[in-house]
Amino acid sequence: MMFWQRKWLAALAALTILCLALGGRQILAEGPAPTGAANVDSEGRETAVSPPITYADPVEEAAASADTQAPTATYFKHYPGTAFQPRDSDTGYDYFGNGCISSQGAAYFILNMQLPPGAEIDFVRLYFYDTSTADARLYLTWYDSAGNYSDVVYVDSSGTSGYGSAGAFTSYTVDPITQSINLVWRPNTHGASMALCGARIRYQAPFSASFLPAVLNETGAE
């Protein structure tokens, strides 16, 4: 591809993303916090107060946020339950079907995410199968490899009707130099009554050529 053609494609992609970002409207729907999950963090330690959770319907995730000071583009990462790994070597799991997993013990499962520096995670959604009286919990957690961690936000499964999803708003800026960012699932029970079917995050990335795919921003182009 000619040099001027690559430049033209990059400019066209940038203009399209900017139009989508500036034209989006965010629709929010708040709901009460769920009950039934113990106040335990992603390390299994009891917490005195449960942080506030704001829930939203799936429609809010289809709209891009408009930032008049610094235009951003909206992206999603969607992971199946099978992408999560047991945190403890003695924890087993079963394939539930359709990309879902169930735990053989009430343990923890973890997924490390790789996101661009400066990206802001603003929404986390849990997909689950739940016919148990207990509620599973999904944490967004960072570690700094120096003995410190923090649960940025968590989402609980709710109800006993089978397949469902729940989400929470948050605000976390990715800094891979000092922290790793992870999703941690705690089923709170074991067996076929509780399954992790997936997780999805939404994040805003600064609008610049460095956040475009390599084929468009010419990174590594020959």
Residues 165-213 pLDDT 10s: 999 999 999 999 999 999 999 999 989 999 999 999 999 997 655 555 5
User: pLDDT value at position 43?
Assistant: 65
Q: Tally the C-alpha atoms within 13 A of residue 148's C-alpha that lie toward its C-beta.
A: 5
Does this model's pTM top 0.75? My answer is no
Q: If DSSP codes are grouped into helix, strand and coil, which group holds residue 6?
A: helix
Contact between residue 156 and residue 139 where contact means Cβ atoms under 8 Å apart: no
What's the CATH fold of domain 3-29+48-217? Jelly Rolls (2.60.120)
Percent of the chain as helix, strand, coil, to the nearest 5:
15, 40, 45
Contact between residue 154 and residue 51 where contact means Cβ atoms under 8 Å apart: yes
Q: What is the rounded radius of gyration, in angstroms, for the C-alpha atoms of the chain?
A: 19
Nearest to 194 by CA among 153, 163, 166: 163
Residues 30-86 pLDDT 10s: 333 344 445 777 667 766 544 444 444 554 445 444 443 456 789 999 999 999 999
Sequence spans of domains, the chain: 3-29+48-217
